[in-house]
Amino acid sequence: MTALLEVSGVSVTFDGFRAINNLSFSIGAQELRAIIGPNGAGKTTFMDIVTGKTRPDKGSVTFGERSVSLLSLSEAEIARAGVGRKFQRPTVFEDQTVAENLTMALKAQRAPWRVLFWKEGPDDRARVQALAEEVGLADHLPRKSGELSHGQKQWLEIGMLLAQEPRLLLVDEPAAGMTLAEREHTTQLLVEMAKTRAVVVVEHDMEFVRRLNCKVTVLHEGAVLAEGSLDHVTKNQQVIEVYLGRG
């Protein structure tokens, strides 16, 4: 499997504290990966590094076939290069309909000079419809987003991210606050999305991770502690001690 994202020997220090410690790992172009680990393991900092929010002290982060260094790009350039990030809380425009939110996301994807002359055309409507179908909101297009359930808002935001056609999507705790049915839908959505792009899910809910049925990376003290199937990593004695055995 060719790597889409390659993190190599990355370290980050905050006020003398090494939050990421010589971290190395890679993600394939069509891969679903779960990242787990105790609080403070460096999961958020890892996502901050990949998206350009935090700059490492050393190491390299490369992306795509041409191994472009993400460390020399701004946050906006990284997003344009194809890295999308879904934060834990949904940030949809509640006063706008589902269709309007998706349309805005399509518009945002375009270069600024094109937005000036932008007018919604049949292609955009078809694309909005396709995005809504992809995330399971095709029946909700005319609804105000504020009326949606928590899970539906999360799917809408995922749809808005998909409008930017990311090649790598980083998703922070997607299952948090969801009902069982919403979790199941979210699982399907993530599995489907990872057939055509890389999807990295940071998640604490082990039952949810099990359903994802994917390779798992366990972070601890800013480095990879274990990697492999969930069954494999949960048998690891160190993983049990630092993560699973708590409380």
Ligand X SMILES: Nc1ncnc2c1ncn2[C@@H]1O[C@H](COP(=O)(O)OP(=O)(O)OP(=O)(O)O)[C@@H](O)[C@H]1O
> DSSP state, 205?
-
Per CB under 6 A, contacts with ligand X among 17-76 are 19, 37, 39-45
> Which residue lies nearer to ligand X by CB, 15 or 123?
15
Q: How far is the CB of 142 from ligand X (least distance, A)?
A: 37
Query: Least distance in Å: CB of 227 to ligand X?
Result: 16
In the DSSP assignment, the letter for residue 240 is: I
The CB-of-238 to ligand X minimum distance in angstroms stands at: 16
Q: Any contact of residue 118 with ligand X (CB under 6 A)?
A: no
Closest approach of ligand X to the CB of residue 124, in Å: 36
Nearer to ligand X, 43 or 153 (CB): 43
Nearer to ligand X, 33 or 185 (CB): 33
Scored b (16 or more CB within 10 A) or e, 141-175 reads: beeebeebeebbbbbbbbbbbbbbebbbbbbbbbb
- What is the rounded CA–CA span in Å between residue 208 and residue 38? 16
Choose between 11 and 44: whose C-beta lies nearer to ligand X.
44
The span of 11-19, 85-93, 120-128, 141-149 binding ligand X (CB under 6 A) equals 11-19
Element (H, E) at 217: strand 215-220
Closest CA to 174 of 150, 141, 192: 150
CA distances to 2, 172, 202, 212 from 72, rounded to whole Å, are 22, 24, 25, 33
> Which of residues 105 and 218 has its CB atom nearest to ligand X in the complex?
218
Smallest separation, CB 81 to ligand X (Å):
22
* Complex with ligand X: residue 19 or 190, whichever CB lies closer: 19
- Size of site (CB under 6 A) for ligand X: 11
Listing DSSP states for 147-188 in one string gives GS-HHHHHHHHHHHHHTT--SEEEEE-TTTT--HHHHHHHHH
Shortest distance (Å) from residue 14 CB to ligand X: 3
- Binding positions for ligand X, rule: CB under 6 A: 14-15, 19, 37, 39-45
